[in-house]
Amino acid sequence: MVALSLRQHQFLIFGFSWVAYAGTYFLRKPLGVIKADLETDLNFTKTQLGWLDTSLLLPYALMQMFMGPVGDKFGPRKTFGVSLILSGLSMTSFGLWNSCYIFAALLFLNGAAQSQCWPSSGKAVSAWFSDSSRNTVFGAYGTSAFAGGIIGTTLAVYLQTTYGWRSVYLPPSVFLVIIGVLVLFLYRQPGELGVIVPGKEPSAKSSASENQLNSWFEIWKIPCVPEIALAMLCLKIVRYCMYMWLPMYLQNHLKYSKGMAGMFSTMFEIGAVFGSAGSGWVIDRCFQSRSVFGTLVSMLLSTLALVLFYLSSEWGIVFNSIFLILAGLFNAGPDVILGGSLPAELGELNGRKAAAAVVGLVNGFGSIGTFMEGPVVGLVTSVWGWSFMFHLLVMLSLLGTASVYKAALNYSKQQQLQHSKNEPLIAL
């Protein structure tokens, strides 16, 4: 790689990172595809199936919040590579067991290993691009999660329908181990190669030390942070409900075939790919960088699309497809803003130098929603049925929208206060 140009380095690192992170979803999505099999073949209850979601997503959320400095200490190449390998190894034997407890243990190890993949890969990608292009790059890079979900679901459905549900984890596990080994050997950073990236500000030691002094309580007191964190929580609960339960809903409630239910569930993620890639550009162009207002509109439209999908669920595949794609598009769009650029700006207002700390807190708090959805949906569907699940998703989406609206009002008050003091502000 040493003889390559900067542009070639950027292309290779971005592409390699995109493939590697997308691959992590090959070991997240199969659980949603095979839930109906676990229910019929092993007599698992919906509550047990919900706790399997938690087994995967709880360690992912907590380890992401508490182990964030690991990537800074050991470097993204080692952290990302080892995480991929451990994730792959944890799931190779999944198809050999029948116990819910063993499944939960394997999923727990998988979630814990994957917790460091996003911060490590993000750190690596960020190092290769200028600060001015960061939002655009991360908007494109964020598509890896949604595209990985589509490919992961497609692969799981193929393995399920061709070889049975016990085979769905082995091939992607082997793939992820191979990718992890390649990362360990090939995932070089500019500093390791002596490459200077134009427009990239060098890390300031003083800023890093100041960030470490910020307690969670102090960060939480920053205006708008609680509202943004709550909105992220609602967004992720809705998204992961669709990820983990939509195939089963389509099969059990709408009477789709097993293969059709798994494949059709990717419509939500297809919309999410476009939402992640284009949201920043659309908000900047149509709302003149008023990102909070643009995000508010996107969340309202996502809620509307969920309502229309529910109301038209019996109308056939065409209407189901349209409203699922729209729901995914408008759900994923705010994620780039709420989980990235907006908390970073809040952390920098008034000279705080706490951008990384605020981004970490907001995303970590939002990830709590990923492991809450399993037991909640399992309980709700068992007691009140699938219809009530969609009522719950719509209410959560509305709550997230209201939280963003409150953040906009709070920021407006801060803007007026700062204007009276003649202090500069970053316009949201």
Range of the domain at 234: 210-416
Same domain assignment for residues 183 and 217: no
Other C-beta atoms closer than 10 Å to the C-beta of 259 total: 16
Within a domain: 37:
yes
pLDDT value at position 27?
A: 96
How confident is residue 34, by pLDDT bands cut at 50, 70 and 90? very high
Same domain assignment for residues 353 and 234: yes
Q: What is the CATH number of the domain that holds 347?
A: 1.20.1250.20
Same domain assignment for residues 56 and 157: yes
The pair of three-digit structure tokens given for residue 77, joined into one six-digit string: 């190449």
Within a domain: 393:
yes
Within a domain: 169:
yes
Same domain assignment for residues 222 and 332: yes
Same domain assignment for residues 90 and 184: yes
Closest CA to 24 of 170, 149, 158: 149
pLDDT value at position 268?
A: 85
- Pick 278 or 384 by higher pLDDT: 384
Same domain assignment for residues 224 and 303: yes
pLDDT value at position 257?
A: 84
Calpha distance 48→128 (Å, rounded): 44
Same domain assignment for residues 159 and 247: no
Closest CA to 57 of 99, 29, 96, 17: 29
DSSP three-state, residue 423? coil
pLDDT value at position 210?
A: 44
112-161 confidence digits (pLDDT tens)? 999 888 878 877 887 888 866 766 777 788 788 888 988 999 999 999 99
1-29 confidence digits (pLDDT tens)? 446 788 888 999 999 999 999 999 999 99
- Domain closes at, from 188, 220, 249: 188
Same domain assignment for residues 247 and 362: yes
Same domain assignment for residues 40 and 159: yes
How confident is residue 182, by pLDDT bands cut at 50, 70 and 90? very high
Closest CA to 368 of 149, 138, 69, 60: 60
Closest CA to 276 of 402, 188, 149: 149
Residue 336 has pLDDT above 80, yes or no: no
Within a domain: 204:
no
pLDDT value at position 84?
A: 97
Same domain assignment for residues 73 and 134: yes
Q: Which of 7-11, 39-43, 367-371 shows the lowest per-residue confidence on average (mean pLDDT)? A: 367-371
Alpha-helical (H) ranges within 164-201 are 170-186, 190-193
Residue 310 has pLDDT above 50, yes or no: yes
Count the domains in the chain: 2
Same domain assignment for residues 169 and 309: no
Within a domain: 196:
no
Within a domain: 421:
no
Query: What average pLDDT does this structure show over 93-109?
Result: 97
Are 303 and 405 within 8 A, CB to CB?
no
Within a domain: 345:
yes
Within a domain: 427:
no
Most confident of 49-58, 72-81, 96-105, 260-269: 96-105
The pair of three-digit structure tokens given for residue 277, joined into one six-digit string: 């890639």
Global pTM reads 0.75
Same domain assignment for residues 271 and 375: yes
Most confident of 148-152, 204-208, 312-316: 148-152
Q: What is the DSSP letter of 241?
A: H
pLDDT value at position 30?
A: 94
Query: What average pLDDT does this structure show over 275-284?
Result: 72
How confident is residue 416, by pLDDT bands cut at 50, 70 and 90? low
Q: Which of 73-82, 105-114, 131-140 shows the lowest per-residue confidence on average (mean pLDDT)? A: 131-140
Mean pLDDT of the chain: 82
Most confident of 207-216, 219-228, 286-295: 219-228
Residue 421 has pLDDT above 70, yes or no: no
- Pick 251 or 161 by higher pLDDT: 161
